[in-house]
Structure 1
Amino acid sequence: MAAYAALVNVMHIIEQIQLHPSPPISLHQKQVQSLTETITFLQDFLEVYPHDGSQEAYDLEGRIRDAAHAAEDVIESHIVDRIRGGSTSSHGENSNDLYQDLGQVIKDMDFNKKEVVEIKAKKEIQDDKLPPQYSILPVGSSRTSSPASENIMVGLDDILIEIMERLTGQQSKRLIIPIVGMGGIGKTTLARNVYAKPIIKESFDICAWATISQDYNAREILLEILLSSTKNESSRESLRGMSEEELEGCPRKLEEIGKKIAKTCKGLPLSIAVIGGLLAKSERTPQHWKYIAENLNLIVNLEDDARCLKILSMSYFNLPVYLKPCFLYMGVFNEDMDISISLVVRLWVAEGFLKPISGKCLEEVAEDYLKHLIDRNLISVHRRGSSGKIKSCKIHDLLRDLCLREAQKEKFIYAPRVHSPSMLQSMNTERCIVLNSSTWSHHDEYTRQLLPFGLQLPSVVRSLIYNFKEGYLPSRTSRLLRVLEAACLECFVEDIFQFVNLRSLALSYTSNLNTKFPSSMCLLWNLQTLVINKLVFNKCRRKPAFALSEIWMMPHLRHVELRRFYILDPPSDEKDKPVFVLRNLHTLLEVLNFKCGEDVVKRIPNIKKLRLFYNRLDEGLREYRLNNLGSLHKLESLSCVFDFSGMPTLSYLVQNLTFPHSLKKLTLMGIFLDWEEMSSKVGSLPLLQVLKLKDNSCKGPEWKPVEGQFCSLRYLLIDNCDDLEYWTADNINFPLLEQLVLRHLGKLKEVPLGIGDIPTLRSIELHACRDSVIISAKEIADQQDEFGNMDLQVHEFIAVKYWNGERYKFLKSLKGRDFQVESRHDISDDPNSW
């Protein structure tokens, strides 16, 4: 909902000005009080009386949205004028202009408030005649619904068996089996269930999965086929039309109305899943469910995708108001895209439509909202990380269509799908513009009109998102830009930092930029996210490193990711260059040769994710204080990479290495710790769930962990630790271990037999290990089968190009229910050396 999002964003702007230690403008306190009171009143109204899809609702919210946008324009325009003019004064003629302009905005907002007061009075009179409203659950509510199981397919066993029989029959020719039907009927899930069956994997040497959208690239499809040959796809969808009897878990008093709802959905599984998510979050009373059924009856005569889309829109209109902008924003991502959760979160935060919750940072609020959308089956989990945390998600193409349709109708997002003569004119009033590869090319006539002096966009635009492999810097007329997300941008750093209103800047570049940011960077007074990656098209691993000192004057920074950059020490306090404590900073990736001085550590007290890289060190080893890492009490994820061979220097550097007890995930590379020393430093961390030991992070032939260590560890990776021959492990050493991954351990003799005694262990993955290691892992799995533990799986991954060797035949002979042989394109070791 654009109106609610705009109101929340105005509050964010005011708060950021008030919290800034050296704000670019000064707001009159009485005006702030009047404006915030009106905004709060309007927010409360939108939360209590949600959008019902009527034209009257669209018109009212449009007026509220426009008034909130006017407030944004007034405040941010004066900020940009002040910064670009070089003035730091909060007084004078410009301030008087601001007060006058803001005064007019407040009058317009008050007019909306009076209109809402009248509407509320009318609605209160008619409340007893209104259909029951759906309950709005606050974030953190104890009432939740379990998300649908992945790969679940109800019914259709006969169709599934028929397809499998055709695929595994004796046909000698190539066979193509088309699966056709209306959107949301479950075609994808049927294909995925066939693809995942063990008999299919055993019948074909190579199985691959690729998704082909309406707009596709042949080269990318071929790459996806290559890379997907070992992926286990999952889906939340359900296969054909469900019968009403297949609606399960319904309270007895709601069974009849529940069957009626399922029947009205015409058996469309996607519709049933989404409506089920709506029902799970509403009051479970016959009155509520009857209201839903009656509304569904109004649209049963529509056909195919149109009917499905209409049914799904009910779930959108009945979302809590704070979730609507988040859901609509999912339309900015390409069709069938594997959407990174971290990307979603930082964009939601930067756009400013997340309402703060006491005791939680905005990133935590965003994660809560994502869980709510997943629980409602509006987005699905696509991939999880080593800790089990959701890494990426997907949205069904029909739901994405719904997002784009509603977002464009509410003037929330403009994402043109096809070229049209009116496209440029339509952009003139848009604030969030998404340019997709399917509708945008620098060769077409529309783009040529936009590119005489940079990308010519309207002055009101606040967000520009490129979803293709090349982009253009917006012209200076887009001076109020807040979000710039570009895959590849040919420009100079100085040009980027002309947009002083930026909150989020994320781009990759191929041009040769200077390795030092200009001092003008600190003029980005409200910058929250800085992600700049260098695209390298050759085999050279060394990349130019940025030197960065301006961050110490940017108090709103939350995420910095630059792929190898130096953080220069904070300058001493000067009158004209204040230095702040970066209390909002959560992420720093990838800091080069971080000295970890006490003064620096004190200025990043709330850092949660830190990635450090050490190579050839300068003089002054005594300036490195890695023991100060232990003072970062909010740090949850740490990666330390050491890439040099000077052992005396390395030993001196890590002898005082200390980790904070808050760590949940730790990755070490090239540090050459003794196994005993590693255990003593790492094993005592009480919250550690994920440990990745890579590239000689540990040395020595034997590892003997002791009781009481690694008490919370769930995921353990040992990769390329060349010395390791023996290690002991059981349920005393790793009581909660779920996944064990062993890679490139050429000397390791076997997997410890005691690993099988860990009750939580679910999988053992082996990459480029000796046959004796594989046999020992298979024995552990067979033993667990005998004990009745059917959950443990062993996977052996081998390089694609060595599939036809004798060793592959040997591995195939070991295959069984609990032992799978799969390919990995990224393993290049010669199996003869394993």
Structure 2
Amino acid sequence: MAETAVSLVIENLIPLLVQEARLLKGVHRKVAGIKDELQIIQSFLKDADARVEQENMSNVEKTWVKQIREEAYHIEDTLDEYILHLAKGPLGPRQHFHFVQKFFQFTKKLRARHVIASKIQDININLQKKREMAVKYRFNTIEQGGLSNNARSVTWYDPRVTSLFIEEAEVVGIESHRDKLINWLVEEPSNCTMISVVGIGGVGKTTLVKKVYDDKKVVAHFNCHAWITVSQSYKKEDLFKDMIKQFYEERKELAPKEIDKMEEISLIKVLRQYLHEQRYLIVADDLWDVDFLECLKVALPNNDKGSGIVITTRNEDVAPSHNESSSCYVHMQLPLPSKKALELFYKKVFQHEENNCPHELVELSSKIVERCEGLPLAIVVIGGLLSSKDKVFSEWCKLHDGLSLELDTNSRLRSIPKILSLSYHDLPYYLKACFLYLGMFPEDYSINCARLVRLWIAEGFVREKKGITLEELAQGYLNQLIHRSLVQVVEFDEVGKNRFCRVHDMLREVILSRSEELNFCLVSIQNYSSFDKIARHLSFMNNVNTPLQSISNSQTRSILIFGLDEVPNSFFTTCFANFKLMRTMDFEGAPIDYIPKEVGNLLHLRYLSLRDTKVKMLPKSIGKLHYLETLDLKRSLVSELPTEISRLHKLRYLAAYIEDKDVEFSFDFPQAVKIPSGIGHLKSLQKLSKIEANNNALITELGSLGQLRKLEIAKLKRENGTAMCTVLQTMSHLQSLRIRATSEEEVLELQSMSSPPPLLQTLTLSGRLEKFPEWILKLNSIARISLNWSKLMEDPLKVLQALPNLMRLWLLDGYEGEQLHIEGGGFQKLKFLGLSDLGGLNRIVEASTKLIRGGPKCPHRFQKITGFKCQCFKDFQVLNQPEHQ
């Protein structure tokens, strides 16, 4: 993590300072010196970070790594202070100041710059001392050829070894998975079968595969077998030697002695020759990267004998998919369901007592198992500990209430976070900070993926890459964490994109433990009593007892609030007075009704969320936030944005609308916000919603927003339609478009567009359409279309069914005819069809054999039709079609 902190400083803040250093004589050289020192220190940290995480490091090295991390934070603070001082002073728009006042301000500013220059000099000296210390104690593996001489070797019992020898009677919930894998292995014809078992650490992958490997049918089907455990630090030569020796041992023969002296190429030749005529089964357990798998494929001949290769991995990206070959299968090993988890717990705890749980421990058993969230590793280890304790309520309650502490301190439980931490160790540095940031969210919290991505960007965790947006890069980071089984997707949108995600509770304990140790973030829950520790990121949740007004740490960069009943005004005063270097303020759902004008003091603020608050107005000082990237006002009470909003040239995300939860769905729901002229200056905007656009001047300004990916506008008048079409033709990056007229009867004049946005995936038109817009048929990438109150007279399905990628279609009062027609071969990818308030419709004609299903009040639950009649179309909602092969 120290290496992560240093990398962020080098890649983000140092270049900023170098760019501004021309304004302060003599600083440029000092900054260059800091950068050089940090880059040299990085070579020590890459190895030192790994050793401190694996507890294979001396106390001297641990202290050194901690000091480097704190120095990196100090550099970050100093540089941000420097930028803050540069932004102040007389140079700028305030030219009406008197000359004497200007001179006074300039002199004051110059003194501040020299103070910071002195700090930079001190940093340089400190870094030189740290580098000399690293050399003195030989921390770097390049110099010492291995681990530190002072490093202590920590041994610990890995309970995964037990899974290789677990008895059949002790296994729970894998029977159907075992049988599926066995069938894949023995029923596949001559091709070599590749099976990948993927899942979070401790979910039972090794146990499952071992039961398949030992199955009598599998043993009899293959001529030779070998099981190798790859792990994170493997040597290909050793694994190949192990395989060869297992083959000879299976035949009760001694392997040739020269095997031990062979190198990789020779070993591959031996393997290929030995297995040439064999039907073999190879298991590669605990695979972490694709490199060894590719090497293994070379070593194992595809001899058309029906051989099999099985791998277990935490990383879905390592697993070959069925799309690559029909002989490749992927099995996702999921946590145990509640009933099976409790069954496994009882087997482990009461193994010598015929699985009888005392009545007073039943409810507590369920609570303990719930904390494990179906993770067999945690269930077995915690159950094993409880099996050795007295079966009394007080003992069990003590373990349940203090489980977080027990995971860190109890030697019998430490294997759980140790195994789960292996996935964290394996992350590249740029993902470690992203992963630790997940600890900022409450337990069992469904995290909005788009929100998470924007937070990562604001924190500076996402590095720019040419040709791809920061949002796309951050989404790629999230996908990597998902594929590595570190993040779970809990909800997809209609076209299969990640919408909400969460972290397994046991992994969250690992995150919190690691974050506190690294001073990365501090999470305040109800039982927290003080905030005497330094942390870069603060999260408050569940009505904390800590007085918020007592928080005054100037190093804090982020504040997130969850589930508080009250936020004192004094805390606001502290936030905006003391946290001058703040980057992220996420007040979503917080009980606040105003934002003070002092928000303008937070020059470095990049993310401000007032979503689901009662804030009614933004202060004019919002225009001073020149680095602001995200302004989220969704479901707040802000109805109009101030003119100063046009100064926020770095703004990427601007979302605002008012939603009255007591009002049922209607045409003008939710309420869009008024936006001032000058919106065209925000050329970095990628999302803009929901705004009132009822005049041509404002619409014309939208044409300057060339980076827009999502646009939602309301109150569009008929006479503004042509101008809207002209602007849309310039938006080459637009992916989502929602347009709403001023009323149900207002016509959307959107015919005059010859070249619609080529990347458009989502389209919602709310308002009358006198004619179906022909340009919609050119949208080859479109996946979702909603036509609301369109009142079309011609059947829209006749033309819409030709769109090649349409997955979701909704018609709400969108058609006034009596008949809809679906032709054979139409709607190749459609998964959802919503029909609502089509009062005149009485007939659907369908030429194929797709399945039509009515709504909850429709008696015709399904029909295979060529002339289907139904009087329930106001309730008719969903058409489910089988996926086309």
When normalised by structure 2's length, the TM-score is 0.62
Equivalent residue for 1:79, pick from 83, 93, 99 = 83
Q: Report what 2:793 is aligned to.
A: 700
Residue by residue, what CA displacement relative to the aligned partner does 1:416-448 show, whole Å, maximum 9, x if unpaired? 345355x1322xx222111111x61xxx4x32x
Distance 2:846 2:148 in 1: 67
Secondary structure (helix, strand or coil) at the match of 2:227 reads: helix
Q: Does 1:93 align with 2:93?
A: no
Q: Report what 2:737 is aligned to.
A: 638
Contact 1:277 1:376 in 2 (8 A): no
Q: Report what 2:759 is aligned to.
A: 663
Gap change, CA 1:562 and 1:35, over 3 Å in 2: farther
Gap change, CA 1:420 and 1:326, over 3 Å in 2: closer
Q: Report what 1:588 is aligned to.
A: 688
Equivalent residue for 2:608, pick from 505, 527, 534 = 505
Q: Which runs of 5+ in 2 are unaligned?
A: 93-104, 150-169, 178-198, 234-283, 297-310, 315-377, 386-409, 658-671
CA RMSD of aligned residues (A): 4.9
Distance 1:358 1:306 in 2: 43
Secondary structure (helix, strand or coil) at the match of 1:521 reads: helix
The worse-fitting range, judged by mean Cα deviation, of 740-749 and 367-376 is 740-749
Q: Does 1:339 align with 2:348?
A: no
Structure 1 residues 316-715: aligned runs within 5 Å: 316-421=424-529, 423-426=530-533, 429-437=534-542, 440=544, 444=545, 446-447=546-547, 450-451=548-549, 456-470=551-565, 471-472=567-568, 473=572, 475=574, 476-486=577-587, 487-488=589-590, 489-508=592-611, 511=614, 513-514=616-617, 517-535=618-636, 545-563=639-657, 564-570=672-678, 582-583=683-684, 585-593=685-693, 595=696, 600-614=701-715, 621=720, 624-645=723-744, 647=746, 650-651=747-748, 653-656=749-752, 660-674=756-770, 677-678=772-773, 680-693=774-787, 695-700=788-793, 702-703=795-796, 705-706=798-799, 709-715=802-808
Residue by residue, what CA displacement relative to the aligned partner does 1:327-359 show, whole Å, maximum 9, x if unpaired? 111111111111111011011111112233333
Distance 2:505 2:553 in 1: 29
Contact 2:825 2:848 in 1 (8 A): no
- How far has the Cα of 1:94 moved from its partner? 3.4
Larger Rg: 2
Distance 1:25 1:582 in 2: 30
Contact 1:485 1:505 in 2 (8 A): yes
Gap change, CA 1:19 and 1:387, over 3 Å in 2: farther
Distance 2:203 2:812 in 1: 38
Residue by residue, what CA displacement relative to the aligned partner does 1:350-383 show, whole Å, maximum 9, x if unpaired? 1112233333222222111111111111111211
Letter of the 2:734 partner, please give it: L
Secondary structure (helix, strand or coil) at the match of 1:705 reads: helix
Q: Report what 2:8 is aligned to.
A: 8
Q: Report what 1:245 is aligned to.
A: 210
Distance 2:790 2:23 in 1: 48
Q: Report what 1:220 is aligned to.
A: none
Contact 1:552 1:582 in 2 (8 A): no
- How far has the Cα of 1:705 moved from its partner? 2.9
Gap change, CA 1:92 and 1:396, over 3 Å in 2: same
Secondary structure (helix, strand or coil) at the match of 1:414 reads: strand
Gap change, CA 1:318 and 1:377, over 3 Å in 2: same
- How far has the Cα of 1:75 moved from its partner? 2.0
Q: Report what 1:257 is aligned to.
A: 229
- How far has the Cα of 1:384 moved from its partner? 0.9
Contact 1:596 1:626 in 2 (8 A): no
The worse-fitting range, judged by mean Cα deviation, of 326-335 and 483-492 is 483-492
- How far has the Cα of 1:39 moved from its partner? 3.9
Distance 1:491 1:24 in 2: 38
Distance 2:675 2:525 in 1: 42
- How far has the Cα of 1:461 moved from its partner? 1.2
- How far has the Cα of 1:604 moved from its partner? 1.8
Residue by residue, what CA displacement relative to the aligned partner does 1:306-334 show, whole Å, maximum 9, x if unpaired? 43222111221222222211111111111
Distance 1:482 1:259 in 2: 39
Letter of the 1:402 partner, please give it: V
Contact 1:613 1:641 in 2 (8 A): yes
Gap change, CA 1:641 and 1:587, over 3 Å in 2: same
- How far has the Cα of 1:483 moved from its partner? 0.7
Contact 1:701 1:726 in 2 (8 A): no
Q: Report what 1:723 is aligned to.
A: 816
Gap change, CA 1:369 and 1:733, over 3 Å in 2: same
Distance 2:715 2:427 in 1: 48
Distance 2:285 2:434 in 1: 20
Secondary structure (helix, strand or coil) at the match of 1:415 reads: strand
Gap change, CA 1:729 and 1:497, over 3 Å in 2: farther
Distance 1:587 1:764 in 2: 36
Structure 1 residues 145-160: aligned runs within 5 Å: 156=172
Number of residue equivalences: 634
Q: Does 1:107 align with 2:203?
A: no
Letter of the 1:4 partner, please give it: T
Higher relative contact order (CA 8 A, sep 6+): 1
Secondary structure (helix, strand or coil) at the match of 1:424 reads: coil
Distance 1:394 1:33 in 2: 41
Residue by residue, what CA displacement relative to the aligned partner does 1:685-710 show, whole Å, maximum 9, x if unpaired? 122122223x3135225235349941
Contact 2:48 2:139 in 1 (8 A): no
Same amino acid, percent of matched pairs: 19
Letter of the 1:255 partner, please give it: W
Contact 2:721 2:750 in 1 (8 A): no
Contact 2:78 2:119 in 1 (8 A): yes
Gap change, CA 1:624 and 1:237, over 3 Å in 2: farther
Structure 1 residues 110-189: aligned runs within 5 Å: 110-115=128-133, 122-127=140-145, 156=172
Q: Does 1:65 align with 2:158?
A: no
Distance 1:698 1:235 in 2: 51
Contact 2:174 2:208 in 1 (8 A): no
Letter of the 1:545 partner, please give it: S
- How far has the Cα of 1:397 moved from its partner? 0.3
Contact 2:786 2:809 in 1 (8 A): yes
Contact 1:691 1:716 in 2 (8 A): yes
Letter of the 2:464 partner, please give it: P
Contact 1:349 1:366 in 2 (8 A): yes
Contact 2:556 2:579 in 1 (8 A): yes
- How far has the Cα of 1:677 moved from its partner? 2.0
Gap change, CA 1:315 and 1:509, over 3 Å in 2: closer
Distance 2:648 2:231 in 1: 57
Residue by residue, what CA displacement relative to the aligned partner does 1:598-617 show, whole Å, maximum 9, x if unpaired? 76245321111122122679
Equivalent residue for 1:736, pick from 817, 823, 829 = 829
Letter of the 1:638 partner, please give it: L
- How far has the Cα of 1:73 moved from its partner? 1.4
Letter of the 1:682 partner, please give it: I
- How far has the Cα of 1:414 moved from its partner? 0.6
Distance 2:786 2:485 in 1: 33
Letter of the 2:555 partner, please give it: V
Contact 1:672 1:698 in 2 (8 A): yes
